[in-house]
Amino acid sequence: MTSQSEAQYKVFLITGGASGLGAEYAKIFLQLGAKNVAVLDIAEAVGKTFVASLNEKYPVKAMFIKCDVSKEDEIKTAFQQVLDANKRIDVIINNAGIFNDSPHLWRTASDVNWQGVVSFTLKGMEHMRKDKGGTGGTIINISSAAALLKCPSFPMYCGAKLAVLHFGQTLSVPPFFDRTGIRILTICIGPTLTPIVDNLHERSLDTTLVETYLKTIDDPRLYQRIDSAVTAFVKMFQEGEPGSIWLSINNKPGIDITSDINQAFDEFKMKWLA
């Protein structure tokens, strides 16, 4: 468990890693001693420029692979390219996401936010699991505070992020970790000052509903700094127990909310399924 909480000498695969929080994760884990960071993103020009800047500071420790995580064939190709270059993958960060419930993009967004996470998780499991000859590893799935709230103007996004949360906690039910050596972590990230919160009007399911939603979040104090979200992420990586669920919100330190989530599920089970 201790070795899994250290970044040194590990190979990281980060989806959506060319900008935003994904890029910050790449930088911080290289700073913490990662052997190599593979940045996967659909934005090829941005990704190549970013990786070039990483390699200036950390020579030959970063690589860029163009990958649209809504497309299974690109996921397979990218995953294999990382393996071919590094012989192993120790940490997968399923960071790619689209905050867009508009009528023309919700299906692609759902593929990225949900099916892409599942696909990379399954591939990581097959590669890492000790009961099939692997050496274990860590898979981090990015959920959202939206998974814990009801935002009527973004129902598909909320639903996908709740699916990510439930996927991780269900997959991690013992004896998963003891058998596989794979630590599944989930983090729910609250509103953060990244481009994902820009132009929400254009990305909602119903513009008549988004006005009410915007009024509830139209307070700069609700948005945390990027560095705060990254600090919470690293705290989870270093301290998170297998199957744990974390919250990063309001510039607070990372909070382990596993017991709260478990209590909600246990209460329902005791009341209705006992």
Catalytic residue IDs: 157
Q: For residues 235 and 256, is the Cβ–Cβ distance under 8 A? A: no
- Chain center to CA of 191: 15
- H helices of 3-115, in order, are 20-31, 44-57, 72-86, 106-110
Give long-range contacts, CB 8 A cutoff, 24+ apart: 76-85.
Answer: 76/123, 78/40, 79/13, 79/120, 79/123, 81/38, 82/11, 82/13, 82/38, 83/127, 85/36, 85/38
Nearest by Cα to 16 from 100, 80, 112: 112
Sheet strands side by side (includes 255-256): 62-66, 36-41, 11-15, 91-94, 137-144, 182-189, 245-248, 255-256
